[in-house]
Chain A
Amino acid sequence: MNPGTILLALAFLSGLSGTAILARSYLRDDDAYLSYVPKLTAGTAVLLVAALAHLTYQFINQDYTNAYVWENTASYLSLLYRVTGVYAANEGSVLLWAAIVAVVALVASLSRGFPTRRGKLIHAFTVGLVTYFTAMLLLQSPFASVRTEFPNAPPGFVPTSGQGLNPLLVDPYMAIHPPVMFISYALLTMPFAIGAAHFIALFRGDDGLFSAWIGSVTRWLRLSWLFLTAAVALGGLWSYTVLGWGGIWAWDPVETAILVPWLFLTATLHAVTNYRPGGRYRILAPAMTASVFALAVYTTSVVRSGVFRSIHSFADGGIGASFLILMGITTLLGVVAPFAYWLLQNDDSDDDAEAAAGESGLAGWINRSNLLHLAVLLFGLLTFVSLWGLSFPVLRSAMTGLEVSVESRYYNLWSFPLVLAVLLLLGFYMDYERDGLRRSLISLGVFGLATVVGAAVAPSETWRLASVRPSDAFVYQLVGNASALSVLPPVAYAIFGTVKRTGSRIAATTSRDAKLKESGITLIHVGAALLVLSLPFMYLFAGQASVMATGVASGAVDTSQRDVGDSPYDVRVLGYEQNEFPNNPEPETYALSSSQVLTRGQSLNTSVQAVHGTVTAIREGPQATVVQLDNSQVWVGVAGNGSVGIETGQEVVARGQVMWEFVPTADAIVLAGPQTIGPADDPPESVVPTRVVANGVSLAVYDEDGIVVSGVAGQREYPQQGGLQVRDVLIDRGPLVDTYVIAGVSDGTASISVKRVPFVTLMRVSILALLVGMLLVLFFDPRHGVRTSASAGTSDRRSAQQTGSDAGAVQEVSD
């Protein structure tokens, strides 16, 4: 048992007892032992964080006694990428996730406690989830001994170098993307626990707890939306720089899989806004709240279980099965339970009451609550499009044996009309609130008509959304032939409506918090509209041209300025560079000294090791030469006759199988060959394998106004990791257009492509607007803001009592 496993085992015990006490206390309504629960919750969190810290420490120190560390790092990596190795594969990611959920459970228990019976159930769910994760970790541990990888090695054996980090993860974006994503998933466990506990309470004949917890639910959902948005954005920006696709989104299964919970979370936020205790959405809002987490787990199963493999599924193994079980449990609690309750309870009392109070005719159809419902449904459809695209190829292949392809066209063409509808609805909703039914209907008609006209008018073929083939289905022909011009009226309507409404709302209130919240809501919706605007143009109007430069490596390259295809760009190749890593590292970092060999002794027997030391004696035999290191009992044997090019007094490195007490006159002999021994200041390739070969051309790109960007573009190849290549791209981030340079260098020839990608900065700004907007709403919302709740203390409980007493009379609230 190593310290890591002990920490995990203790965390499991502590979590399990906490869950058991809470469950017992909920079921029996008996508070015995309950005073231990806060300590156990805190203990679990501390132990898991300690386990995570311990693993991180092992990574920083390159402790190869741990198999997981050995698999996911190497000593040439910088400190940052040693740390990112922690979550490079399944085990570490689950540990990170578990630690964050444990902290979330701790924060929830500290801030609110569990004074009520249902509160205990909620807490039982979160702590139970932590316990489940911990059990997964015990089954497939990130602290397994490296001996599992080398079952035949002698006891005490430790490798001297690691396998290295997945090259795709050697990127600053990837250093922060996974933690941000796991934070958002961990935050979703609270809404899940509240939603699931709500339905269990309902089944037990209670009136549920959602109304009392609505403030908490809103804050947790908003906070996880903030992190999830950041995670999606970071993932997109990563693929823009690392994969050399020249775009931020390729609908690869994992990108799609993180978009699914994002879309559904967005729908849920709108549904929760539409919730009235005892009234409308009294089933749908809690049900959606509970199911977001189920979707997030589905997403993770997609990534980690190997059901749909893609570039992201770094590893496969037993954790996949555990995730499938977790998927079953969360689906049961989050999706099946609410649905069953709805089927059993299908009475329309709330709707009747509302219908009686409402108006008839068109005005009965169009009110804010119904419009919000339509928004929830449209987001639901968008979620479905992505979810279905992930799922149906598997379904169809399972049913018919035919393999069908889901191209990006499927996602793009089905989502496009839905997104336009969402924007038109947004504009109408805002407009309606401010200007009333008649005027807003007229504007909707005008903008709707403009959208249809825009779809029909294509200034050139470039404007059409997709190139369609005659054999395509009618829907693809219709949407594919539409012009990107159609995106402008909905975007304009949405922005115009939102800004106008904000103006009047801010003028109407004197509260600083309310003003800040309104600004936040505006930033989010305007940001979303601008994001939609940027996307089609980014792809349709991206231009690319290439030029070949020969003789780069030999220095015979033409360094004059020349045209890049038929693009407006010129390029000038300035030079060529090739770098290899690690570059003559210190021998101590990769080889054992003679004294280390003697200390480790028998445990090294028959393993292949690198050694270093000063030559103190050389004996040449007819068929082999032996070299003594540091006047010790460690010798290096080199097969073959003739000189090995080594002199006495020289510092050397050698690599080979270590034979312990193999010959009578030496304790250890390292069986090397002429290729695997050499001077320490110029070690042979086979002793210090090259991990990374970076090939690049330094170049400058010009347009008619002069230089646009200069620097090095090329690729990094990882020969030790299957020859995987990662692009080093050169990007000039302009206000309107990004200039994106990719160079592929092989055999002394560089193929240079220059792309013009429009509106990337617009996209960056719109994402920033989404994030800043949500921060403002999260903190300053007068009803459910973090600030308000912190200052009001137990406001949730008080407002719950109020809303409970006058459920029907709650005023229409603004969002």
Chain B
Amino acid sequence: MNPRKAMTIAFFALLLGIGYLSMNAAPVLSDEGYSYHGEVKWQTNYSSAVETAAAEDEPVVIYYWTTWCTYCEDYNRNVYSDPAVQSELDEFTKVAVNLDSDSESATRLQQRYNINYPPQHVIVTPEGEVLTRIPGYAAKDDFRSYLETAKQRYQAGQTANGTSQSTENTAGRLTEAAV
């Protein structure tokens, strides 16, 4: 057999082998309605998660991640794998949003809480009011204290910025002053 032809055949065999093996060996990130990060199971359907949260009367923690974010890997390795964090997280409804996802609900959740880089966590009430935010990476002790703060605020019925802005029509009063 012609050497170059033999090498080329071997090349294609290897190529197919790598392609097939790697595709099947890739860890499953999410299946029907769930995604997995460092032994913690997160829901991916926000609206059904909110129903659960409302029924159980617990806050929702939304985790924004991507496959290529190195601090997300740190979360998997150092934070979510920690039993103390896991038991703390049991008192929350957990939703994970892949920032690379183009789905409508993921985009809406990104825009609603103004998220543009991974990793970030936003802890909200079942109604969607922000309790607290965890921008970037927080080591497990800090992470737990964020969870604690959110839980206390939730129980006390507070939100992160409780002030409401009322709009006022100033036109009438101005006219009066100007003349």
Residues of A within 8 A of B (CB): 245, 247, 250-253, 280, 306, 308-311, 348, 351, 355, 364-365, 369-370, 373-374, 377, 380-381, 384-385, 388-389, 392-393, 395-396, 401-408, 410, 414, 472-473, 475-476, 546, 619-626, 635, 637, 639, 659, 662-666, 669, 671, 673, 721-725, 744, 751
Least CB separation from A475: chain B residue: B21
The distance in angstroms between the C-alpha atoms of A395 and B19, with both chains bound, is 12
User: In the complex, what distance in Å separates the CA atom of A245 from the CA atom of B136?
Assistant: 12
Contact segment of B26-34, B124-132, B150-158: B26-34
Stretch touching chain A among B52-60, B85-93, B168-176: B168-176
Are the CB atoms of B116 and A724 closer together than 8 Å? yes
Known: A306-B102, A388-B22, A403-B30. A639 touches B7 (CB 8 A): no
B160 at the interface (CB under 8 A from A): no
Residue total for B at the interface (Cβ-Cβ under 8 A): 51
CB distance from B13 to the nearest CB of A (A): 11
| Given A250-B70, A407-B27, A639-B170: A622 and B176 interface contact (C-beta under 8 Å) | yes
The answer to whether B174 and A348 touch across the interface, beta carbons within 8 angstroms, is no
Are A723 and B114 in touch, CB under 8 angstroms?
yes
Taken together as a complex, chains A and B put the C-alpha atoms of A514 and B162 apart, in Å, by: 75
Is B177 in contact with A637, judged by CB distance below 8 angstroms?
yes
Give the contacting residue for B68; candidates A253, A381, A637; CB below 8 A.
A253
Contact B11 A380 (CB under 8 A): yes
The A interface is mostly helix, strand or loop, or mixed, namely mixed
Is the pair B67, A406 in contact by a Cβ cutoff of 8 Å? Answer: yes
Question: Residue A410 contacts which of B26, B30, B114 (CB distance < 8 angstroms)?
Answer: B26
With an 8 A cutoff between CB atoms, is B35 at the interface? yes
* A115 to B142 CA separation, bound complex (whole angstroms): 72
The A-contacting residues of B in range 111-129, CB under 8 angstroms, are 114-117
Contact between B28 and A388, CB atoms less than 8 A apart: no
Q: Which residue of B lies closest to A657 (CB)?
A: B170
Per-position 1/0 for B28-67, Cβ under 8 A of A: 1111100100000000000000000000000000000011
B28: contacting residue among A308, A404, A721, CB under 8 A: A404
Residue of A nearest to B120 (CB): A723
Rounded to whole Å, the gap between the CB of B117 and the closest CB of chain A is 6
B18 contacts A385, C-beta separation under 8 Å: yes
Interface centre among B29, B35, B100 (most CB of A within 10 A): B100
For the complex of A and B, list the 8 residue pairs with the smallest distance between their C-beta atoms, beginning with the closest.
A621-B177, A473-B25, A623-B173, A252-B68, A639-B170, A404-B26, A637-B174, A403-B30
Pair A381/B11 contact, Cβ less than 8 Å:
yes
A663 x B117 contact (CB < 8 A): no
Chain B residues with Cβ under 8 A from A405's Cβ?
Answer: 26-29, 67
Q: Are B7 and A377 in contact (CB under 8 A)?
A: yes
B177 touches A410 (CB 8 A): no
| B99 interface residue (CB < 8 Å to A) | yes
Contact of A309 with B102 in the complex, beta carbons under 8 Å: yes
Task: Specify which chain A residues have a CB less than 8 angstroms from the CB of B178 in the assembled complex.
Answer: 619, 621, 626, 635, 637, 663, 665-666, 669
Q: List 22 A-B contacts (CB under 8 A).
A: A252-B69, A253-B68, A311-B117, A351-B5, A369-B4, A373-B8, A377-B7, A380-B11, A381-B14, A384-B18, A385-B22, A403-B29, A403-B98, A404-B28, A407-B67, A408-B68, A621-B176, A622-B177, A625-B177, A637-B178, A722-B114, A725-B135
Name which of A348, A393, A403, A472 has the most chain B CB atoms within 10 A of its CB.
Answer: A403
User: Contacts of B30 on A, CB cut-off 8 Å?
Assistant: 402-403
Chain A residues near B102 (CB, 8 Å)? 306, 309
Judge whether A637 and B8 touch: CB under 8 Å.
no
- In the bound assembly, the distance between CA atoms of A252 and B68 in angstroms comes to 5
Q: Which of chain B's residues 131-156 have a Cβ closer than 8 Å to chain A?
A: 135-136, 139
